[in-house]
Amino acid sequence: MRLSADQENRYRTEGFLVLEELFSPAEVETLRAGYEADASIAAPHRFLEPDSGHVATLFALHDRLPEFDALARSPRLLEPARQLVADQLYLYQMKVNTKSACGGKTQGWHQDYIAWRLADQLPAPRMVTMGILLDDSTEFNGPLIFIPGSHTAGLLRDDRAEGSEPDAFVDSNDVALTPEILAELVEHRGMRSIQAPAGSAVIFHPEVVHGSAPNMSPHPRRPLILTYNDIHNLPRNPTPRPHYLVNRDTAPLSAYQPAGRG
């Protein structure tokens, strides 16, 4: 389950890495079914697209569905995460960021760690995010787009946009980079979109600049996104955000290998 030296080097240089078809079609189908059932229930951890009423983000599936809890402990995710960040990690956040068929919103260009530092007072970007594609990611369906190497630039802003809603959910557009900063980054580093089949994993750094456009395809786009944090890098916010945004169980995870594959 360890990344090869070449894979690790690519992650450290570019700030992201794709592992194609890490999960089988049957495993993806199980996750999709769990997601769809959970997404059909109205709850505070479920956020809707304002115009269409379709689900936009569903948080903390591991709290309700054992297969998602087991997934967070899968050696296929946990071992590379430990290799890249630290031996002792816990699951900081799990979510599915859906873009409905011919819908979904723009996710402005941002660095995740800015949001987590502002909202949770996380001391350092000692984290890694693992996105699992529950659908093929294509040029048409609002794929994640990265600026390679941008994680080496440090924090590129450190505040929320004026007029941001003062709620617990920090929207990517509230911490989006200015067009000037974006232009300079892109001039030097370019942009790369993720095109990979369902079941592939996209590993990305908390400071790599990324975003996505709306989904122009007639099928939903549902990446399942898990973020691991070093247990020595706990949030310091004296009034923590809701548990579905910031997991309270900070005990170090150990790998769980169900019968068959991990």
72 vs 225, beta carbon nearer ligand SIN: 225
207 binds Mn ion (CB under 5 A): no
Q: Which does 200 bind (CB under 5 to 8 A by kind): Mn ion, ligand SIN, none?
A: none
DSSP string of 32-49?
HHHHHHHHTS--TTEEE-
107 binds ligand SIN (CB under 6 A): yes
* Sole binder of ligand SIN in the list 81, 132, 144, 147 (CB under 6 A): 144
3-state class (DSSP) for residue 139: coil
Least gap, CB of 37 to Mn ion (angstroms)? 25
100 binds ligand SIN (CB under 6 A): no
68 vs 109, beta carbon nearer Mn ion: 109
* Gap between the Cα atoms of 42 and 99, Å rounded: 18
- HSE-CB for 106 with a 13 A CA cutoff: 6
111 binds ligand SIN (CB under 6 A): no
**CA–CA–CA angle 86, 113, 80 (5° rounding):** 30
* Gap between the Cα atoms of 169 and 184, Å rounded: 29
Closest CB to Mn ion: residue number: 112
For residues 187-199, one letter each, b for 16 or more C-beta atoms within 10 angstroms of the residue's C-beta and e for the rest, the string is: eebebbebebebb
27 vs 112, beta carbon nearer Mn ion: 112
233 binds ligand SIN (CB under 6 A): no
Other residues' Cβ atoms within 10 Å of the Cβ of residue 16: 24
* Gap between the Cα atoms of 108 and 100, Å rounded: 17
* Sole binder of Mn ion in the list 14, 38, 112, 207 (CB under 5 A): 112
23 vs 113, beta carbon nearer ligand SIN: 113
Per CB under 6 A, contacts with ligand SIN among 160-189 are 172
What is the total count of residues that contact ligand SIN (CB under 6 A)? 8
Beta bridge partners of 96: 58, 224
Specify whether the CB–CB gap between 110 and 75 falls below 8 A.
no
90 vs 204, beta carbon nearer ligand SIN: 204
Q: Where do contacts with Mn ion occur on this chain (CB under 5 A)?
A: 112
Q: Where do contacts with ligand SIN occur on this chain (CB under 6 A)?
A: 97, 107, 144, 172, 210, 212, 223, 225
